[in-house]
């Protein structure tokens, strides 16, 4: 098996035969119950959990997901393979799980490229059986701790052009018409982190016969070049709560961009503090 993080359905089916792995379904419980990859466990709050970057918020996040990933059966020996419905229908929620595991220092993480839709399209087995995993002790590590940024990191980054602050939210959020995917006024303020560049997260993917797939390395680097990002450029990502940013994180890392981090609290946190600066109105 290669070191790549994205597995096709066919690659995953073969991988499951030869390697210990824990398959994690990030969809809602109803979708999971209707049919899932055989043996998969459901962990929908990979998507729903709203994090803050305060010391207490980070400690809570680390404890919560170390407990949940351990309960799912991850001990460090198994490869975690995470999926959603497709790469675009869940706002990148499988990639959010990928990022959380990297942040917690887990050594073996993959994402099912194309998600459950691609798995079904490949004619691979589907099960509706409930799964009771054997709990393990999850090996929390500090090796990925610097991948997650806090407010102070972003404030420092605003002061320099050497770091690209990359907003990957949908266009209505970027142009300050909406505050979130949950409604225009879900957050108290609309706008952008000052100095941010913008690549809508969808641009990291392209349509295929089995649904949206992350673009090739040359295609991703071409998108990056449009806002001045090279493989050597430090990139600080944000969206609303870290899911779309995680989709972009995985795309950039697969394309060889070396220094990519996420402000995981993202707009949900930043917009709620009136002391933090924002750019409002149209970005042109």
Per-residue pLDDT reduced to its tens digit, 19-63: 999 999 999 999 999 999 999 999 999 999 999 999 999 999 999
Residue 1, pLDDT > 70, answer: no
Segment 103-121, tens digit of pLDDT? 999 999 999 999 999 999 9
User: pLDDT for 190-232, tens place per residue?
Assistant: 999 999 999 999 999 999 988 899 999 999 999 999 999 999 9
Could you give the dihedral angle defined by the CA atoms of residues 109, 114, 118 and 119, in that order, rounded to the nearest 10 degrees?
Answer: 10
Give Cα separations from 89 to 179, 189, 214, 247, 278 (angstroms): 20, 26, 13, 12, 29
pLDDT > 70 fraction of the chain, expressed in percent and rounded:
99
Strands of the sheet with 235-238, listed across from one edge: 148-149, 260-263, 235-238, 164-167, 197-198
Q: 101: closest CA among 134, 79, 132?
A: 79
3 pLDDT higher than 90: no
pLDDT for res 284: 87
Confidence of residue 2 (pLDDT cuts 50, 70, 90): low
Give how far Cα 175 sits from Cα of 207, 278, 279, 280, Å.
25, 12, 10, 8
Q: Who contacts 270 (Cβ-Cβ below 8 Å, separation ≥6)? A: 151, 154, 193, 238, 263, 276, 278
Q: Output the pLDDT for position 93.
A: 95
pLDDT at 162: 97
Q: CA 148 to CA 55: how far, in whole Å?
A: 12
Q: pLDDT > 90: what percent of the chain? A: 96
Determine if the pTM surpasses 0.85.
yes
Reported confidence tier of residue 236, pLDDT bands at 50, 70, 90: very high
Beta strands in 52-153 (DSSP E): 79-83, 109-112, 148-149
């Amino acid at each position: 098996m290669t070191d790549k993080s994205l597995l096709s359905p066919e690659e995953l089916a073969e991988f499951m035969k030869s390697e210990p792995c824990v398959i994690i379904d990030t969809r809602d419980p109803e979708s999971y119950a209707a049919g899932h990859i055989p043996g998969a466990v459901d962990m929908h709050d990979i998507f729903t959990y709203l994090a803050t970057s305060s010391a207490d918020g980070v400690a809570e996040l680390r404890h919560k997901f170390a407990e949940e990933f351990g309960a799912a059966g991850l001990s460090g020996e198994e490869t975690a393979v995470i999926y959603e419905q497709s790469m675009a229908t869940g706002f990148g929620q499988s990639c959010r799980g990928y990022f959380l595991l990297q942040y917690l220092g887990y050594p073996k993480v993959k994402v099912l490229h194309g998600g459950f839709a691609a798995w079904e399209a490949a004619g691979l087995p589907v099960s509706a059986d409930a799964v009771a995993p054997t709990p393990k002790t999850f090996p929390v590590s500090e090796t990925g701790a610097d991948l997650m940024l806090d407010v102070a990191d972003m404030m420092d980054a605003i002061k320099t052009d050497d770091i690209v602050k990359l907003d990957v939210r949908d266009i209505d959020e970027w142009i300050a018409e909406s505050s979130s995917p949950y409604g225009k006024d879900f957050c108290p303020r609309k706008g952008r982190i000052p100095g941010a560049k913008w690549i809508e997260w969808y641009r990291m993917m392209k349509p295929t016969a089995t649904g949206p797939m992350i673009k090739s390395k040359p295609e991703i680097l071409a998108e990056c070049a449009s806002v001045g990002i090279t493989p050597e450029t430090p990139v600080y990502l944000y969206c609303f709560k870290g899911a779309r940013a995680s989709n972009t994180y995985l795309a950039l890392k697969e394309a060889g961009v070396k220094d990519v981090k996420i402000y995981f609290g993202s707009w949900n946190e930043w917009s709620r503090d009136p002391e933090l600066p924002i750019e409002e109105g149209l970005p042109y």
